[in-house]
Amino acid sequence: MIKNIAVLGAGTMGHGIAETFAMYGFSVNLYETSEKIRNSVMSIIKGELDFAAENELIDKSEVNGIINNIKLFSDLKSAVENADYVIEATPEILELKQNLFRELDGYCKKEAILASNTSSLALNEMMKLVSDERKKRMIVCHWYNPAHLMPIAELSFFGNMNEVTFKEVEALYSKIGKQTVKVLKDVPGLVANRIQQGVAREVFSLIEMGVASPKDIDKALKFGPAFRYATTGQLEVADMGGLDIWCTVGDNLLSVMDNRTEANPILRKKVEEGKLGLKSGEGFFEYTNEASQNFKNDFNKRLIIQLKTSKNYI
């Protein structure tokens, strides 16, 4: 049974992954190479937990206990030697992950399961330097940002791992409140990111063509398709509308919609101009410092409301 967790990398994803396991009572060793990040990460986690308590996702009295479940490490071996499940959320660099897994293979118990939160690297490539026995206990577990609020985890089942071990990981993720998606083929982007890019491609294209203002295009998404998607999947929506209708509309629309195979030029232009979104104060919309903090808080608040509501639709 998986009891002890180790999370490697305490950046955007790693801190939230550690926080989630700790919220559900797991003892978590959090390993981070950067001293600067080690010095700031616990206050970031505390801030998120306080916010979750203010918004009644957890009880205020739980915050200290959750924080005490997380231990910070600067030494890899001591962070992972007792772990039953290790997940890395280190930078998306193949060589770094290959070497990390090679080291882990040596440091971890033989029955430990090693996971990667990679967004785009192939499992086969990442596990190139580990023993054949360990390859049977390696998996991609892809979280969404913010990790402690987004309820999805995509789990790879690419043929290297047996069903019993997979079920162990699946059960672990159910215990921490995640909806798991069993991904059967090692395709770039897995499932959720590919769906998201499909939508994003058309959104950027509509802006490029000037079909509506950026604000109205986001509005069309929020109060149109995405309003249903929060509780109802695309295939359920198609079944409800009638597959004959979806077939006809597909024939009529898909040939005139965007099918380019690279990022939209308006996106590239914004990047060249340094308009990167919240972090630079301007993207498709403009943000003052204060507006940017309010935007993040509102975003998290809405996710918490959805998280609480969606429990009724599972």
Cα–Cα nearest to 26, from 5, 49, 53, 57: 5
Q: Is residue 91 at the binding interface for ligand NAD, with CB under 6 A as the rule? A: yes
Number of residues that bind ligand NAD (CB under 6 A): 24
Which residue, 116 or 206, has its beta carbon nearer to ligand NAD?
Answer: 116
Tokens linked to 228: 């249903």
Q: How far is the CB of 143 from ligand NAD (least distance, A)?
A: 6
- Tell me which stretch binds ligand NAD (CB under 6 A): 138-146, 150-158, 279-287, 299-307: 138-146
Q: Is residue 33 at the binding interface for ligand NAD, with CB under 6 A as the rule? A: yes
Count other C-beta atoms under 10 Å from residue 42's C-beta: 16
Q: How far is the CB of 120 from ligand NAD (least distance, A)?
A: 6
Straight-line distance from the first to the last Cα atom of the chain, in angstroms, rounded to the nearest whole number: 26
Q: Is residue 145 at the binding interface for ligand NAD, with CB under 6 A as the rule? A: yes
- Tell me which stretch binds ligand NAD (CB under 6 A): 130-138, 141-149, 232-240, 273-281: 141-149
What single-letter amino acid sits at 126? M
Contact 141, 155 (CB under 8 A): yes
The SS3 call for residue 48 is: helix
Q: How far apart are CA 157 and CA 183, in angstroms?
A: 6
Which residue, 143 or 206, has its beta carbon nearer to ligand NAD?
Answer: 143
Q: Is residue 17 at the binding interface for ligand NAD, with CB under 6 A as the rule? A: no
Q: How far apart are CA 84 and CA 97, in angstroms?
A: 19
Cα–Cα nearest to 88, from 24, 142, 52: 142
In the region spanning residues 170 to 209, those forming contacts with ligand NAD, defined by CB under 6 A, are none
Binding residue (CB under 6 A) for ligand NAD from 5, 6, 7, 8: 8
The SS3 call for residue 88 is: strand
Q: Is residue 39 at the binding interface for ligand NAD, with CB under 6 A as the rule? A: no
Element (H, E) at 302: helix 289-310
Which residue, 93 or 230, has its beta carbon nearer to ligand NAD?
Answer: 93
Contact residues for ligand NAD (CB under 6 A)?
Answer: 8-14, 31-34, 37, 89-92, 96, 100, 117-119, 142-143, 145
